[in-house]
Amino acid sequence: MIGLEVEDETSMSAPVWPAFGDLMACLFGLFVLFFVWMIAFQVDLTHDLDRERAEHAAEATRREELERALAGPLADGRITLVDGRIGIRGSVLFGLNSADLAPEGASLLAGLAAPLRAYLTNHDELIMVSGFTDDRAINSSPQGYKDNWELSAQRALTVTRGLVTAGVAPDTIFAAGFGASHPVASNETADDRAKNRRVEISPIPRSSRQAP
């Protein structure tokens, strides 16, 4: 009887070690999978960081090239260049509530066309011309524009046509009107409203224009 009891206890305890071994094998397998995942994640993160650095470097180079191309107009204060956007005060280009190009504005656009054309030759980009107004409603307009949306769009078109006339290829430029949206000043004073009445010329990647 004693021998039988010993035999029974041995037979009951024997399967514990294989089960323990299976558990350790599963844990080791999970560890290996987790380790491989961590390595893959680290590699992806490194690639993402490298790509982001490359994009930042390319953007910085692009802005430097644009600034060099526009050195003349920038030096005499006729335009501004902020974050790659060329800014022109509306008063330089147009009369109040008008989209007729002033002689000073036409001369400025003629001077901008050559450096813009040279810049586009070396970059697969488009030129976006954006028109902006202040937040005051239009009470009277020489051309009868109904609101700031219509006025800003027509001013953008006028500048676009002026640049095309001066030599910028028509298939590299387009216009957009934003009305009183995206002000750069408060609209509380006459000087601030004058800052908001502006046209911006921005080089953008072609994919941004083609995206739905």
Burial class (CB in 10 A: 0-12, 13-18, 19+), 157: middle
Q: What is the mean pLDDT of residues 86-101?
A: 91
Residues 107-151 pLDDT 10s: 999 999 998 998 898 888 999 999 999 999 987 777 788 899 999
Q: Kindly report the pTM of this predicted structure.
A: 0.69
Residues 27-45 pLDDT 10s: 777 777 777 777 777 777 6
**Looking up tokens 């501004």, which residue turns up?**
80
Structure tokens at 188: 């509380």
Q: How confident is the model at residue 197 (pLDDT cuts 50, 70, 90)?
A: very high
